[in-house]
Amino acid sequence: MRATIIHGPGDIRVEDRDYPRVELDSDAVVRVSAACVCGSDLWPYRGVRETREPRAIGHEFIGVVESVGSGISSLAVGDFVIAPFTGNCGHCPACRDGVTVACEHLVSWGSTDEKGHFVQGAQGEAVRVPNAEATLVKVPGVKDPDDELLADLLTLSDVMGTGHHAAVSAGVGPGSTVVVVGDGAVGLCAVLAASRLGADRIIAMSRHEDRAALAREFGATDIVAERGKDGADRVRDLLGGVLAGAVLECVGTAESMDQALRCTRPGGRVGFVGVPAGGAELPIGLLFAKNITVGGGMAPVRTYLPELLDDVLAGKIHPGRVFDSVLSLEEAPRAYALMDQRQAVKVMLKP
């Protein structure tokens, strides 16, 4: 089969690899209908994270179950499924707490499982999924989704669940005043999540007209282009003299966290889901003085999947609008370049 392999900074190739097969009783093999490129895939692409040897890449995919192990009963060949961006066992203490990303038997796509069997990356034609019953979520009543539904479902693999985690971690609910820092796919999904949770005001910080327009479509009530102190002052003006009660940090840089903390009122909460890109730690003295709570991290998207899927299937939310480009799997190198140069918000790859 064809699979996307990263060889080093800027070096993405689509190559031939062995087609996966069931290795363990709890496995399912999924034929990928759609995958995509994540902001965090750009780290090795940009050389921020080292690539020691060529490896399969990609961690977001949806597709059709093609074969299952003998221990599988809740999934069948032909089921359309969503894979979270990590696999989990479903029965360890962290899984029982719903923190599936801290699973004691965590599976990373493009890696090996606990038994030493290879697990394919998501940007390829097929993936073997260990602990398939705990990991995969079946999409009921759907066999061959149209393009719009396909896009919506694919976001549930990562970005929509991650945006939702930011909102949940910041305690967003009816009446909340929310600022979203970051206008990438996750930030835009965080706007949608805040809107879905009933927030009263949602201020999206964006300087890009197209992204700001999508943020408004997703429920943003205001757009702020200013940054730093000016940005926080603008938020304060918009909210009638106070800062926001909930701020969603969806970037992961020292600057974006600084922006988030500046926009948070005393006693407020920051939900952060941007993968920390190194640099500054959290300023504990500021958190103490302002009574700011900071929570979040790697999103347990598996836990959120059922409720978000319900809303997608009911047509209540359309997170798939974050995809502004669809390419074939063979065009993966171009997909990375588009994302890297910010010429695309989110690129879908179709094998």
Give the interface with a second copy as residue ranges (CB under 8 A).
93-94, 97-99, 101-102, 169, 241-242, 257, 265-267, 269, 272, 275-276, 280-285, 287-298, 300
Tokens matching residue 296:
């979040």
Minimum CB separation from a second copy for residue 315, in Å?
Answer: 31
Q: Which one, 128 or 201, has the nearer CB to a second copy?
A: 201
CB closer to a second copy, 20 vs 274: 274
Of 183, 156, 326, 322, nearest to 249 (Cα)? 183
Query: 1 vs 298, which CB is nearer to a second copy?
Result: 298
Q: Would you state the structure tokens that stand for residue 314, as one six-digit string?
A: 């009911």
Which residue, chain included where needed, has tokens 């009263």?
Answer: 200
Smallest separation, CB 295 to a second copy (Å): 3
Nearest to a second copy of 48, 280 (CB atom):
280
The pair of three-digit structure tokens given for residue 6, joined into one six-digit string: 């990263």
Query: Closer to a second copy at the Cβ: 109 or 272?
Result: 272
Distances (CA, A) of 236 to 187, 204, 224, 231, 302: 20, 13, 11, 9, 36
Closest separation between CB of residue 111 and a second copy, Å? 16
Burial degree of 292 (CB within 10 A; 0-12, 13-18, 19+)? buried
Rounded least distance, CB 177 to a second copy, Å: 11
**Least distance (Å) between residue 31 CB and a second copy:** 32
Nearest to a second copy of 8, 90 (CB atom) = 90
Q: Is the Cβ–Cβ distance between 154 and 62 less than 8 Å?
A: yes
Burial (CB count within 10 angstroms: exposed 0-12, middle 13-18, buried 19+), residue 7: middle
Nearest C-alpha neighbor of 165 from the set 53, 302, 67: 302
In the chain, what's the furthest Cα-to-Cα distance? 62
Residue 34 burial class via C-beta count within 10 angstroms: exposed 0-12, middle 13-18, buried 19 and up: buried
Q: Between helices 185-196 and 209-217, what is the axis angle to 10°?
A: 20
Instruction: Provide φ and ψ at 274, rounded to 5°.
Output: -65, 125
Shortest separation between residue 198's beta carbon and a second copy, angstroms? 19
> Least separation, in Å, of the C-beta of 97 and a second copy?
5
Q: Closer to a second copy at the Cβ: 76 or 282?
A: 282
Which of 190, 257 has the CB closer to a second copy?
Answer: 257
Short-list 229, 274, 225, CA closest to 254? 274
Q: How far is the CB of 178 from a second copy (least distance, A)?
A: 16
- Of 42 and 298, the one with the shorter C-beta distance to a second copy is 298
How far apart are CB 272 and a second copy at their closest, in Å? Answer: 7
> Rounded CA gap, 324 and 121, in Å?
22
